[in-house]
Structure 1
Amino acid sequence: MGLNLAAIGRLAPGLPDHATAVIDRAWQHGLRLFDTAPQYGDGSAERHTGQALATRPRDDFILTTKVGQHVAAGSAYLWLGETDTSGEDLQADFTYDGVHRSLEQSMRRLGTDRLDVVHLHDPVRRADEALRGGYKALVQLRAAGTVGAISASTDHVGLLAEYATIGRRGNQHDPGFDCFLIAGRYTLLDQSGLDLLLPRCAAWGLGVMAAGALHPGLLTGATAPNQPAYVKARAEAIRRVCDLHGVPVRAAALQFPLGHPAVATVLVGARSPQQLDDDIAMFNHPIPTALWADLKQRNLIEQRSPVPR
């Protein structure tokens, strides 16, 4: 399990000690992967992550950030309310120079001279620019040792599946991507990543970070006014089956993605140390194999989905 710092970005401006407490609690639980981005609180998440990890041995944790999307100076984006990527303050820059500038700023906020993983952040609308510019910059930074691994982060499985082929077409001068972050597309509710992306990643040794396992509360019954009725009905049916087996749906949701051999980690977010405690408890909650079998029998998860053992 890894910790996504989007919630920390929202907490940091008004509750800096609270934000640091979440990171400290993650460390106490043994979490060693910290995933952040410049727009999480307009840099606040990166600053507080860097401060919270400053006294930890650098080789003892994995630090990731993102490039390509940033927030205009002075914006409250991701400081208040929920994450809304349609905000006018969100700006894209996947150019070669833009990625270099973004990483320089991120490393300064994080207090580090190297990043373990850097994601092209949701490059769907600028996929070509991201490859011509940002990806080229990351390849050079990887060769120099500033970046350990190159990734892309999005919910668009088709784009990631295409990116996975880079460097696997006989071009020995282009080693390609090392891993991907897939948001909400290999979960208990949505297994659309199973068709093309995950098989390619498994075959070519590309690790996958699975995010959005709870679909912002949809699986646990939170209000989701923008979701189609059939999605809500499917979520409710999954909750009922989990109840029949005495398993919290959050436990099943957090553990399900790791059944696939391509999935290396599940990312969770937390607004408080107590919420993180609960995430850890759910991640370790025992789940009978009969639950997975029942979900498949009712066609609530794909029959060919590998499940945790």
Structure 2
Amino acid sequence: MQLTDRRPIGRTDVEVTVMGFGGAPLGNLYAPIPDEDARGAVAAAWEAGIRYYDTAPLYGYGLSEHRFGEILRGQKRDGFVLSTKVGRVLRPWREPPAHDDKFVDAGPFEPIYDYTRDGARRSLEQSLHRLGMNRVDVLFIHDIDIFTHGANQQPDMFRQALSGAYLALREMKDEGTIAAIGVGVNEWEVCEAALDEGDFDCFLLAGRYTLLEQKPLESFLPKCVQRGASIILGGPYNSGILVTGAVKGATHNYEAAPQDILDRVAGIQTVCQAHGVPMPAAALQFPLAHPAVASVIPGGRTAAEVTQNATWLTTPVPAALWTDLKGEGLLHPDAPVPGS
């Protein structure tokens, strides 16, 4: 497999490289990135052959979209695939919010949830202004999961999105404004519920089908194959732990990893080391073996991180590594693996 290999998004004409670029870090996720580092990261992605870029209004409250637009506007627009998201509109604030936030030194905007039909169109219009572009290719409804809204409010947000934003996305696809539509969340169960009710081309699923977690194999991924819907796999390192390993302070699902996760990662790492394979290489390559998965989209804060991701994607992984992971109970027995 080469990084420049392309796979279709659902039944659309959109094709993405098997590795994309996840844009959350460019929104100063957890720590600020100098503009020159951000430019260097995207330039390194382009040089490596990455032609799929994902962003969202949430990422740095417009900063990620602004940075992608500034850098990618110099390329021919038909030469890459770009996705962003709806579900929040950004409103300028006069004073910085008092609450803590994951995005540091972000744009001076407050994100307001809006999953209505008009809100989705307004969100896309705002995104196009920040990007400085006249279109995106793929548009996702963002964060209609329990992780974001809590168990009490999530059902109402889900219903609003399916009765509002989803209709806007369908209309925009029919108009030719966008080429593919989907849902971008942290929970596969919400993706499956959306697929049961709507005609979606793809799902951006963050962290839930990885070397560490394979629960979606039991129902959701087979349904995607049956319905012709693709998976864009965000967070392939499970928020970092599949890079750092089971060390003190390792992050899983945006928080400190609990002991059971640390133990499982330690087991995976031991098997990888026995075969002389960097664990992140196995983490990037594993999801792509499933026929529903079109692309993995790790982020990158610097050119060096992006280049390292590209190297890991093409690092040789012996078949015996996957066999041993299954034998140790560290990988779902029915999980497709590279080369199978």
**Matched residues in 1 for 2:104 and 2:159: separation?**
32
Task: Tell me, yes or no, if structure 1 residue 39 matches structure 2 residue 58.
Answer: yes
Task: Tell me, yes or no, if structure 1 residue 105 matches structure 2 residue 136.
Answer: no
Q: Deviations over 1:126-182 (max 9, x none)?
A: 110000110011111111111111110112111111222335xxxxxxxx1111111
Please state how far the C-alpha of 1:14 moved relative to its aligned partner. 5.9
Counterpart in the other structure of 1:211: 234
Q: Which of 281, 284, 295 does residue 325 from structure 2 map onto?
A: 295
Q: What amino acid is aligned across from residue 245 of structure 1 in structure 2? A: H
Given that 1:181 and 1:210 are in contact with CA atoms closer than 8 Å, whether structure 2 keeps it comes out as: yes
Please state how far the C-alpha of 1:7 moved relative to its aligned partner. 0.7
Name the stretch that deviates more: 188-197 or 3-12.
3-12
Counterpart in the other structure of 1:49: 68
SS at 2:183's partner residue? strand
Q: What amino acid is aligned across from residue 208 of structure 1 in structure 2? A: I
In the alignment, structure 2 segments of 5+ residues that lack a partner are: 1-18, 146-153
The 1:23–1:14 alpha-carbon spacing in structure 2 relative to 1, beyond 3 Å, is closer
Counterpart in the other structure of 2:285: 255
Q: What amino acid is aligned across from residue 304 of structure 1 in structure 2? A: D
RMSD (CA atoms): 2.0
Counterpart in the other structure of 1:231: 261
Given that 1:96 and 1:133 are in contact with CA atoms closer than 8 Å, whether structure 2 keeps it comes out as: yes
In the alignment, structure 1 segments of 5+ residues that lack a partner are: 83-88, 168-175
Q: Deviations over 1:267-305 (max 9, x none)?
A: 110010001111111111000000000000011000000
Q: What amino acid is aligned across from residue 338 of structure 2 in structure 1? A: P
In the alignment of these two chains, the number of paired residues is 295
Task: Tell me, yes or no, if structure 1 residue 3 matches structure 2 residue 21.
Answer: yes
The 1:237–1:27 alpha-carbon spacing in structure 2 relative to 1, beyond 3 Å, is same
Counterpart in the other structure of 1:198: 221
Given that 2:235 and 2:298 are in contact with CA atoms closer than 8 Å, whether structure 1 keeps it comes out as: yes
Counterpart in the other structure of 1:80: 104
TM-score of the aligned structures, taking structure 1 as reference length: 0.90
Q: What amino acid is aligned across from residue 117 of structure 1 in structure 2? A: V
**Matched residues in 2 for 1:107 and 1:13: separation?**
23
Q: Which of 78, 87, 91 does residue 112 from structure 2 map onto?
A: 91
Give the structure, 1 or 2, with the largest relative contact order (CA under 8 Å, sep 6 or more): 2
TM-score of the aligned structures, taking structure 2 as reference length: 0.82
**Matched residues in 2 for 1:7 and 1:154: separation?**
17
Given that 2:33 and 2:301 are in contact with CA atoms closer than 8 Å, whether structure 1 keeps it comes out as: no
Q: Which of 26, 40, 48 does residue 21 from structure 1 map onto?
A: 40
The 1:78–1:52 alpha-carbon spacing in structure 2 relative to 1, beyond 3 Å, is farther
Moved over 2 A (4+): 11-14, 69-79, 219-222, 224-228
Given that 2:232 and 2:293 are in contact with CA atoms closer than 8 Å, whether structure 1 keeps it comes out as: yes
**Matched residues in 1 for 2:105 and 2:263: separation?**
26
Counterpart in the other structure of 1:164: 195
